[in-house]
Chain A
Amino acid sequence: DTAVSQTPKYLVTQMGNDKSIKCEQNLGHDTMYWYKQDSKKFLKIMFSYNNKELIINETVPNRFSPKSPDKAHLNLHINSLELGDSAVYFCASSQREPGLGTFGPGTRLLVL
């Protein structure tokens, strides 16, 4: 059973389009995250939700909007995609302590 799953695995789209990435965890964790890994492999946190409430919102463009319909899901919607949005986006979840968590397989986004 996949603990943290993301869809789609790959996403190729044109500049200006709107796209969503979905994340689901079946671990019963309270906290979920979105990380961005750029071409240099550096991971940066974007958002963190705890029990459907936003607790971390790093300086990311307003074009990025997370949505958590329930504590098992954290989706990422991106409006007006730009070339610089190309990256691998990782969803993660944890219970109690951040870092003692589980990451999803990543979604590789390529904006043309």
Chain B
Amino acid sequence: SQQGEEDPQALSIQEGENATMNCSYKTSINNLQWYRQNSGRGLVHLILIRSNEREKHSGRLRVTLDTSKKSSSLLITASRAADTASYFCATEKGGSEKLVFGKGTKLTVNP
């Protein structure tokens, strides 16, 4: 079964810096999504990018998708302490409503 895998597993940066997280997967997909999870809280959907899209923006978030390399990246620009959370990518395979999540990247933004 396909599995999104994020790297790095943990990332620590200073406020104002950019944070880049990567995700790789194994099989063809319909779309790829990024989620955020604050410690002890539920998951929050951030952005969805379809398999025929290459780049998408939402506020300070920029997501790229390279289907030839089966990889995606999430860039958070001008990070804030409030961005501290775990970030998960999730893939949806064609013909299925199932989401498969990776293990996540734990981002710490130091004030």
Contacts and interface: CB of A to CB of B under 8 A. Distances in A.
Interface of A: 4, 31, 35, 40-45, 48, 55-56, 58, 90, 92, 97-106
Given A4-B42, A92-B43, A103-B43, A98 B99 contact: yes
Nearest to B104: A41
A56 B88 CA distance: 22
B82 to A, nearest CB: 18
Size range of the interface on B? 20 to 34
B101 A42 contact: yes
B84 to A, nearest CB: 16
Given A41-B104, A99-B48, A55 B42 contact: no
A69 to B, nearest CB: 21
A100 B45 CA distance: 6
Given A42-B101, A44-B101, A98 B43 contact: no
Q: Which of B42, B43, B104 has the most CB of A within 10 A?
A: B42
A41 B105 CA distance: 10
Contacts of B48: 97, 99-100
